[in-house]
Each structure stands twice: as C-alpha cells, then as structure tokens.
Structure 1
Amino acid sequence: MAQNTVPTSGSSVLDRTSLAGDVVRRIMHLADALRHYQNADLAQLGLTPAAARALYQLDPDHPLPARDLAERLGCDRSNVTALVDKLENAGLVQRRTDPADRRLKTLVVTDAGRRVRDDVFRVLSDSRLLAGLTNEELANLRDLVWKVSDGGCPEPCQAD
C-alpha cells in the first residue's frame, strides 16, 4: 500500500495500523517544525526553551518558591536554580524573602518579566503552520487533537 493512500472502509487492520503510523509520523513532524520555530523565536527574546518555560510557569501576580517551580517543571531544584539565575540576570525575575516565612525565597516576575512572559505566550501560541486551514478545519483539528490527547473534547466537540 502506498504511503499516501487512504484506506477505504473495507481496509484491513494492517492498513489501519499503517494509516495510524502515518498520522503519528506527521504529528511528530509537525511538533518538530513547531519546536523549531518556537526555539528560534525564543532565542530572539534572549531565552532558551527551558528558561522560557520556567518564566511561563511563573504567575506574575503570585510569587512562587523555587521548589514549587521545580515541581511544575518536573525537574530537580538544582536545575531550576540555574534557570532562575538566568532569568534574574536578565532582569525578568527577582528572588525575594517570603514575608510569611522569612526562611523561604520566592520568585517574583518583574515588570520586564511580565512583558517578556507575554511575548513567550505569543511564541508558544504561534499558528503560522496552521495558516492554510479554514476556521472550520482548525476547529475540527482542535477537536480531534483534544479527543486523542486529554481523553475528551471541549464543548462543543463534534469529533466522534
């Protein structure tokens, strides 16, 4: 069976497996392309992907201890220390003593950090690879991605 051939309703399980494999490979290719563009755009902001992810995880209105950031990122606290050092050196984050527990240092997003965090959000939401889709196609794709990723669809979801 040719790689670009779509199986008909009478296709075998092997054809379905082949089709599913093609879908997975295309999703992986799309993810790689998205990551490439995101990394390039993050670099223009002066951030590594890891530093951008750390900044994005910080809520500008609620200071957060480094240990909580490490938990959100799913990494060791020593790795977070290096990321926070980079963000602090760039003027995007400050370490401050927690007024409720003076033994604890919290991470506070600076005004510059808020602006860059907004830029990071725009970079991570970039949809240039989806520009060729109509709004209806984009909604259908969103519903299908929800269906296979988080086990459910947001309302309204017609992808059954």
Structure 2
Amino acid sequence: MSTDVELCGLVARLNQRLDSHVRRVADRLGITASQAIALRELGEPMRLTALAEHMSCETSNAGYVVDRMEDQGLVERLPDPGDRRAKLLSLTEAGLRCRGNVLQALSEQAPVEALSAEERDSLVALLRRATA
C-alpha cells in the first residue's frame, strides 16, 4: 500500500474518532454536535459564510445552527463595520461561557491524547500546511 493511500485511511479514521468525540461532548453538554463545532470556531466574530466554511457545511446549514444558538442567547448578529450590509456573528456572555465549556470538554479524553504535546504541535503544523 502506498504512503498516500495509508495516509488517507489514517486521516479518515482520525476524523471519525474526532466526530464521535464531538458528539459525545455535545451530548454531555446538552447541545448539538453542530452547535459544539460552531462554538469551537467562533473564537472571534465572523460572517456566516466564514463560519460555514470553518464548519465544512453549507451556509444554509450554518444559518440554521446560528438561528438556534441565537434563540438560546448564545450568539448575536452585529453590524459588520467593514460592510454595512453584512452581519458579524459574535458570542454573547452566555455563548462565551458555553464555548469555554466546549473547549474544555473537547480537550479531555481527545482522540489525540496518546500523542505528546510536541507531537500534537507537529501534527497541527503539518495539517495546516496540508490544508492551506
């Protein structure tokens, strides 16, 4: 088997484990997996299209998630100072607390915890290059 084929299989298996981990965390926190992903990605205000890209989904799907989060008081839509026709998604105080809980829970028993901190840093750097 070629290295590229093996790499694809390993990355796919890691992705499945990460998806399962996100679902378990979301269930434990009483939110959906999509909301957990959105909270993870909303470290700074961004447009809905950018959030959808970060979430690897269609803008309409991200919009549905954001609508639910807005109803729950976790996110608000603010005017974009760079484009008055656009809105920025920003976490509320409750959203910031919830994001903190999500980030903490995601770091516990993560599928990559078998790697040392240095190995995880190296993996992050390699994956950034591969996905750039």
In the alignment, which of 31, 37, 50 is matched to residue 47 of structure 1?
31
Where in structure 2 are the equivalents of 1:28-67 lying within 5 Å?
Answer: 32=16, 35-60=19-44, 63-67=45-49
Task: Judging by fraction of residues, say which structure has more helix.
Answer: 2
| Kept in 1: contact 2:77–2:87 (CA 8 A) | yes
Helix, strand or coil: the match of 2:38? Answer: helix
With over 3 angstroms needed to count, the CA separation of the structure-2 counterparts of 1:145 and 1:120, relative to structure 1, is: same
Which residue in the other structure is 1:121 paired with? 103
Check 1:54–1:129 CA distance in 2 against 1; reply closer, same or farther (3 A cut): closer
Contact 1:55 1:87 in 2 (8 A): no
| Structure-1 residue corresponding to 2:88 | 106
1:69 to 24, 28, 51: 51
Structure 1, residues 11-61: CA drift from partner, whole Å, max 9, x if none?
A: xxxxxx5xxx99x9888767655543431221222221122111211124x
Report the structure number with the largest CA radius of gyration. Answer: 1
TM-score if structure 2 supplies the norm length? 0.68
Shift in CA distance, 102/27, structure 1 to aligned 2, threshold 3 Å: closer
Report the secondary structure of 1:102's partner residue.
Answer: strand
Q: CA RMSD in A?
A: 3.6
Sequence identity percentage: 33
- Corresponding residue of 1:79: 61
Q: What is the distance in 2 between the residues matched to 1:101 and 1:25?
A: 42
> SS where residue 107 of structure 1 aligns?
strand
| SS of residue matched to 1:97 | strand
Distance of aligned partners of 1:140 and 1:117 in 2 relative to their CA distance in 1, 3 Å threshold? closer
TM normalised by structure 1 equals 0.58
Q: Is the 8 A contact 2:21 2:110 kept in 1?
A: no
